[in-house]
Amino acid sequence: MAQASELVQAILHAFAARRVIFNEVRTLWNYVTILLLAQGSALAQPTPSFDVAYVKALPAELHGGDFQVTPTSVSFDRFPLGFMIRWAYGLHPYQAFETAGPNWLEPGLGCVRFTVIGKVDRPVPVEQLRLMLRTLLTERLKLSLHRGTKEMTVAVVSVGKDGPKLHASEESEMSLHPEGDGDLMHFKGALMSRLDEWLYIYVPYLVVDETGLPGRYDFDLNVDQYRDLANPPLPGSRIDLAPGVNKALQPLGLKLELKRRPVEVLIIDHAEKVATEN
């Protein structure tokens, strides 16, 4: 609005000083009208929101459930708020390193879990569902946050010196199939950008994909056979099997290395533990 207001004042001043002719003034006024209408339309644009939504905090003893996304809905059953925030903002939802806030946002002592369901009456892109979830969390849990940068140790997955040794997949969706006791995992239609969803179990760091491989791949991975390579866990942290993950990735022509990097994080300023009425 400031841009249009300044332009109006300039037109009036120029007209008063007789430095412009009528046709020029009319052209400029037409431009101002269009600018004001465009800005008014932008201001009137409604905030994306679900047609039907449900948010409920759960008893502390309940733990993880299902997470589903369809073209018309999102559903989180017994999930921590931190996970939902990261999904809503397009981050790696399984990696708590990308958010900073109260301890109750994440799994562990004092964690508050929620069941959150949002539905729309027509199919929409997943990015629209993310925006709708942001609106829902802001309205029902009074979520407020801001972006910041934090330097941290990250686990970087990249291509080894001899290049990738991966088989292209014909699958359109990513799936994992354990064999035996679950030590050996069969990946189908795997995206390198989503390996963090599984590797976070073994690596207590943010997992960053720097392979530059955009396709889908089929491969087998067995990290548990290298548990003897685990580093001692840091105080208050999980097992660090980064050396074992690196060893398991090598037959695929990949590697995992720990590096220090500045990482953009979401800093949670406020969130309620109890949702407003559904």
Residue-level pLDDT at 257: 96
* pLDDT grade for 236, boundaries at 50, 70 and 90: low
DSSP 8-class letter at 115: E
Q: Are 143 and 86 in contact (CB under 8 A)?
A: no
Average pLDDT over residues 24-46: 53
Residue 22: pLDDT over 50? no
Q: Is the pLDDT reported for residue 73 higher than 70?
A: yes
Q: What is the token pair recorded at 133?
A: 């979830």
pLDDT value at position 24?
52
pLDDT higher than threshold 70 for residue 70? yes
**Sheet hosting strand 52-57, strand order edge to edge:** 52-57, 113-119, 73-80, 67-70
Contacts of 76 (CB under 8 A, 6+ apart): 65, 67, 83, 84, 114, 115, 116, 117
Number of Cβ atoms within 10 Å of the Cβ of 105:
23
Among all chains, which residue has been given the structure tokens 């939902």? 84
On the question of pLDDT at 19 being above 50, the answer is: no
Chain-centre distance for alpha carbon 81: 13
Measure CA of the first residue to CA of the last residue in the chain; give whole Å: 36
Task: Using pLDDT thresholds of 50, 70 and 90, give the confidence band for residue 3.
Answer: low
- Residue 218's DSSP bridge partners are 167
Question: CA 136 to CA 50: how far, in whole Å?
Answer: 8
Determine how β-strand 184-191 pairs with β-strand 167-168.
unpaired
Of residues 258 and 46, more confidence is placed in 258
Q: pLDDT per residue over 86-115, tens digit each?
A: 999 998 888 888 899 999 998 878 889 999
The percentage of the chain sitting over the pLDDT mark of 90, rounded to a whole number, equals 58
Give the mean model confidence (pLDDT) for residues 156-184. Answer: 90
Task: Label residue 8 by pLDDT band (50, 70, 90).
Answer: very low
- Residues 171-230: pLDDT tens digits? 998 998 888 776 899 999 999 998 888 888 898 888 999 999 999 999 999 999 999 998
The bridge status of strand 254-270 relative to strand 144-159 is antiparallel
- How buried is residue 223: exposed, middle or buried, by Cβ count under 10 Å (0-12/13-18/19+)? buried
Q: What average pLDDT score do residues 229-242 get?
A: 77
